[in-house]
Amino acid sequence: MSATRAALPPKEQLDDPGGRPVDRRRGSTLLRHLAVVLAAGLLLVAVSYSVEPFRNFQLATVAAYLCATAGLTVLTGLNGQLSLGHGALMATGAYTVALCQTAFADRGMTGGWLLPLSLGAAIVSTVAVGAVVGVAAARLRGPYLAGVTLAVAVVVPALAVTFDGVFNGEQGLSVPVEPPPLSLGPYFPYERWQLWVTGAATLLALLLLANLIRSRYGRTFRAVRDDEVAARLAGIHVARTQVLAFVVSAATAGLGGALLAVLAQSVSPGAFSLTLSLFLLMAVVIGGLGRLTGALWGAVLLVALPDLTHSVTEMLTLSPAVAQRLEGNLPLAIFGLTLIVVMIAAPGGVQGLLSRLGRSLLARRPTRRS
């Protein structure tokens, strides 16, 4: 008996009955995620050379929104916490990067390391806010949790108006950003550089989230989501797990807001209203909860929706006042209608529908007989 026990690997290294070491599987998962991220980065660089500058800007905006939708997917889809305040978390990151970049510019500081430092400061500040909100949210359930996050979505933009001496009120702040490095050439398109910066930051965030989901923390997130009582009986600290999920989601939301501020080179309270928080939640539901690819579809929808509403209003012969009012309310109506259709036709979202179609096509493929 003792010889048999000595021959077995340690308990923490076993992951399945076949005795496959956990470390080896984790290493293969990390390598696979790295390969996917590198392939996506190369594809992004290739696409940036083949499309016009405006499309590069749109793709950069998709990447910025993807940070926020991916974090919200982890929070709501994997951990089961409903948040209506992610727009406020994005505003926290956006104002932080604006204040940092302005301070650097006022001191005459230059260098390629300033923007990553500002983005890091935005993540840290949003993590602090997310930790405070997460501690309160861990004690609440259902509509009370939604109410707290809804209050955050209303209060944070209002603070920018109240403390106008710091945040410049409704007019907002400018975000000074240095031009592309001279090593890329004197005529390197600025929009292409924006896509490279936002794409690199977003791919790094997705890499970390993908590995987090496949790790022990991801399994505890899902366990708490499925049954808190069973998770508590299994030895999982439920409140700590929920706070951790909120902090991770807040960090990515802050990064997304900071990237949006860098793209627009300005930040104002109107850009991060309650409507944005509702759009983010509906986007991840339509894209597919609990899947990072679903977050990608949601980010694409967030960027494509303004163009769609503008095209619809141009097709209709309306007075300028009615057209302006319709264009302001049409995005929410289209989002709501799309959400209803998706929930009826594809409860798993767009990514769930695509996965189901892929499985059905594979099932119909004829198998070769030996």
Q: For position 27, which CATH number holds? A: 1.10.3470
Average pLDDT over residues 53-75: 94
- Select the highest-mean-pLDDT range: 78-87, 118-127, 142-151, 312-321: 118-127
Average pLDDT over residues 243-259: 95
Number of structural domains, the chain? 1
| Residue 290: how many other CB atoms lie within 10 Å | 22
Question: In sequence order, what are the beta bridge partners of 21?
Answer: 14
Kindly state whether residue 370 falls inside one of the protein's structural domains. no
Residues 6+ apart with CB under 8 A from 33: 207, 210, 211
Name which of 190-204, 242-256, 304-318 the model is least confident about. 304-318
pLDDT at 116: 93
Kindly state whether residue 63 falls inside one of the protein's structural domains. yes
Q: Kindly tell me if the per-residue pLDDT of 18 is higher than 80.
A: no
pLDDT at 109: 82
CA–CA gap between residue 60 and residue 195 (Å, rounded): 5
Which residue shows structure tokens 């979202």?
349
Q: Which residues of 46-73 are buried (b: 16+ CB within 10 A; e: fewer)?
A: eebeeeeeeebbbbbbbbbbbbbbbbbb
Of 332 and 234, the structure prediction assigns the larger pLDDT to 234
Q: Which tokens is 367 given?
A: 């198998």
Dump pLDDT digits (tens) for 206-236: 999 999 999 999 999 999 999 899 999 999 9
Kindly state whether residue 67 falls inside one of the protein's structural domains. yes
Kindly state whether residue 99 falls inside one of the protein's structural domains. yes
Kindly state whether residue 369 falls inside one of the protein's structural domains. no
Name residue 94's amino acid.
Answer: A
Q: Kindly tell me if the per-residue pLDDT of 11 is higher than 50.
A: no
Dump pLDDT digits (tens) for 24-51: 666 788 888 899 999 999 999 999 999 9
pLDDT at 50: 94
Closest C-alpha to 79, from 244, 270, 214: 244
CA–CA gap between residue 153 and residue 148 (Å, rounded): 9
Name residue 54's amino acid.
Answer: F
Residues 6+ apart with CB under 8 A from 187: none
Kindly state whether residue 366 falls inside one of the protein's structural domains. no
Q: What percent of the chain has pLDDT over 90?
A: 45
Average pLDDT over residues 291-319: 80
Going by pLDDT thresholds of 50, 70 and 90, the confidence category of residue 17 is very low
CA–CA gap between residue 367 and residue 370 (Å, rounded): 9
Q: Which tokens is 95 given?
A: 């104002």
337: containing domain: 2-361
DSSP secondary structure string for all residues of 153-180: HHHHHHHHHHTHHHH-GGG-EE---PPP
Kindly state whether residue 368 falls inside one of the protein's structural domains. no
Closest C-alpha to 347, from 280, 286, 295: 286
pLDDT at 9: 36
CA–CA gap between residue 253 and residue 261 (Å, rounded): 12
Residues 224 and 86 sit within 8 Å (Cβ to Cβ):
no
Dump pLDDT digits (tens) for 67-123: 999 999 999 999 988 888 899 999 999 999 999 999 998 888 887 889 999 999 999
Residues 6+ apart with CB under 8 A from 181: 112
CA–CA gap between residue 167 and residue 175 (Å, rounded): 12
Average pLDDT over residues 291-316: 82
In Å, how far are 127, 201, 258, 312 from 325, measured between CA atoms? 37, 36, 29, 13
Q: Kindly tell me if the per-residue pLDDT of 8 is higher than 60.
A: no
Going by pLDDT thresholds of 50, 70 and 90, the confidence category of residue 13 is very low
Torsion of CA 221, 127, 191, 315, to 10 degrees: 70
Residues 297 and 351 sit within 8 Å (Cβ to Cβ):
yes
3-state secondary structure (DSSP) of residue 14? strand
Q: Kindly tell me if the per-residue pLDDT of 254 is higher than 90.
A: yes
Kindly state whether residue 37 falls inside one of the protein's structural domains. yes
Q: Kindly report the length of the chain.
A: 370
pTM over 0.75: yes
Q: Kindly tell me if the per-residue pLDDT of 284 is higher than 80.
A: yes
